[in-house]
Amino acid sequence: MSSENLTLNERWLVPAGSGYWAMLDAVGLPRGRARHEALAYQFEPWLPVPLESVVPRFLTLDGDAVLAVALPRASLLDLLDKGVHSVAIEGSPDFLSPEITAGAIARLRALEFLTGDLTPEPLRRVRRRSAGFLGGGIALALLLLCAGLLRRAEADRTGARQERDRADAIYRAALGRSAEGAILPLPLLLDAELRKRDQQLGSMNGAGAGTVFEADTALSQLLAGWPADEAGLHVESLVAASGALTVRGTAPTTEQVSRLVEQLGRLPRAHIEEPSVRAETRGAAFTLRITLGGVP
């Protein structure tokens, strides 16, 4: 094959006699790039030309034996100028035994000499394009991942905000005017109001009247059992007195009121009197009287 009729996709096979050969010993040598450099240092005394003027390749044989071969850099540059994209060795040196030669020839053909700074420009462009596609794909994947995480974080924040708003609505309904302009957090304010009411009820009932209704505990149970997935439920007032909680509010439909009663009825020791439900143009108004285990 001559370089004049060589196409870009063909491989140039250099005869074994055009290369410089040596048998080296790799005992104790490191691995990776350091191994290549150590072998090149061993190979240099066997070369009739400076190491910088050739491109060496190394083929590991049985044990620690390494077959070294080098081609002149000037010859490889000439082949590059003629449009060759791949160069390998054809054949093997005469000093190899027939047993080694039989297995080495195919492996020698796999040794590529046009690598590193000798890589053909078309291959460089392909690799740059592939790297660009890969980088773009990774960037897109990271962008989608970040977008998903942001959406999830926003959904979590929205859910937490709705939960806080729901709890605040119940607290404000229980506190009434006491919640207006409050500086303390609503749960602490409600706890203080309930303790004050307990003290007042205890004074009214006398020392031997027994335990008063634990409204703060009942309210905590109510908050825990209040459905978070029922949109449109609105508490207008909440009164803790006479051993029970009285909740007044509105809902978009009477079915939602029924589901609310069913869910609150599952709370431990809960008892709900027959609810009062009234259909209105905006939905349904309801009144629930709930005993949650705090009755004396």
Q: Residue ranges of the domains in the chain?
A: 3-119, 167-292
Structure tokens at 200: 């007042």
Return the minimum-mean-pLDDT range out of 64-68, 138-142, 227-231: 227-231
The answer to whether the beta carbons of residues 238 and 179 sit under 8 Å apart is no
Short-list 289, 240, 290, CA closest to 269:
290
pLDDT of residue 44: 93
pLDDT of residue 127: 53
The answer to whether the beta carbons of residues 222 and 245 sit under 8 Å apart is yes
Maximum average pLDDT range among 121-130, 184-193, 234-243, 266-275: 266-275
SS3 annotation, the chain:
CCHHHCCCCCCEEEEHHHCEEEEEECCCCCCCHHHHHHHHHHHHHHCCCCHHHEEEEEEECCCCEEEEEEEEHHHHHHHHHCCCCCEEEECCCCCCCHHHHHHHHHHHHCCCCCCHHHCCHHHHHHHHHHHHHHHHHHHHHHHHHHHHHHHHHHHHHHHHHHHHHHHHHHHHHHHHHHHCCCCCCHHHHHHHHHHHHHHHHHHHHCCCCCCCCCHHHHHHHHHHHCCCCCCCCEEEEEEEECCEEEEEEEECCHHHHHHHHHHHCCCCCEEECCCEEEEECCEEEEEEEEEECCCC
Length of the chain: 296
pLDDT of residue 207: 44
Let me know if domain 167-292 sits in CATH 1.10.3720.10: no
Does residue 115 or residue 270 have the better pLDDT?
A: 115
Mean of per-residue pLDDT scores for the chain: 76
Return the minimum-mean-pLDDT range out of 150-154, 187-191, 223-227: 187-191
Helix axes 121-175, 186-205, angle to 10 degrees: 20
pLDDT interval class at 179 (50, 70, 90): low
**This prediction's pTM:** 0.41
Mean pLDDT of the region 103-132: 73
pLDDT of residue 8: 46
Let me know if domain 3-119 sits in CATH 3.30.420.380: yes
Q: How many CA atoms lie within 13 A of 227 on its CB side?
A: 18
196 has pLDDT over 70 = no
Task: Quote the CA–CA distance of 52 and 50 in Å, as a whole number.
Answer: 5
Structure tokens at 206: 């006398």
pLDDT tens profile 65-101: 899 999 999 999 888 888 888 898 888 888 887 777 7
The answer to whether the beta carbons of residues 67 and 104 sit under 8 Å apart is yes
Short-list 150, 172, 8, CA closest to 79:
8
